[in-house]
């Protein structure tokens, strides 16, 4: 989930390794309930060959619907595009 990787999903809510950005948003039981019940595609309908080519095959129907909806939007005169949050590793950044 995000930049911090835990060994198990439960670790984000554990007292010893609690991660506030995740734990403060939602309780663990609610997160597990959502993960158990939200499905965008039938897992039995796809083969392993299809899964290797498309990394987001489980949410592909939702992404296609979102793309078609966003293409219908008409840009207005006063529109702003915000910066995207990107993880930054200062050890890799070496100015010339």
| Distance in angstroms (rounded) separating the CA atoms of residues 93 and 96 | 10
31-50 pLDDT, tens digit each: 889 888 888 888 787 766 66
pTM above 0.75, yes or no: no
Does a structural domain hold residue 92?
no
Does a structural domain hold residue 81?
no
Does a structural domain hold residue 54?
yes
What is the number of structural domains in the chain? Answer: 1
Which residues span the domain enclosing 23? 9-69
Q: What is the pLDDT of residue 25?
A: 87
Phi, psi of 64 (to 5 degrees): -65, -40
Q: What is the pLDDT of residue 56?
A: 82
| Distance in angstroms (rounded) separating the CA atoms of residues 37 and 40 | 10
Tell me the three state secondary structure of residue 52.
Answer: helix
Question: According to DSSP H, which parts of 1-96 are helical?
Answer: 20-23, 28-37, 48-53, 60-71
Does a structural domain hold residue 45?
yes
| Distance in angstroms (rounded) separating the CA atoms of residues 69 and 71 | 5
């Amino acid at each position: 989930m995000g930049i911090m990787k835990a060994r198990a999903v439960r670790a984000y809510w554990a007292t010893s390794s609690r991660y506030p950005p995740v734990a403060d948003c939602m309780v663990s039981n609610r997160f597990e309930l959502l993960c158990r019940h939200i499905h965008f595609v039938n897992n039995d309908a796809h083969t392993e060959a299809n899964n290797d080519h498309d990394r987001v095959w489980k949410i592909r129907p939702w992404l296609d619907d979102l793309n078609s909806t966003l293409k219908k939007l008409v840009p207005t005169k006063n529109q702003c595009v915000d910066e995207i949050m990107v993880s930054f590793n200062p050890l890799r950044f070496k100015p010339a």
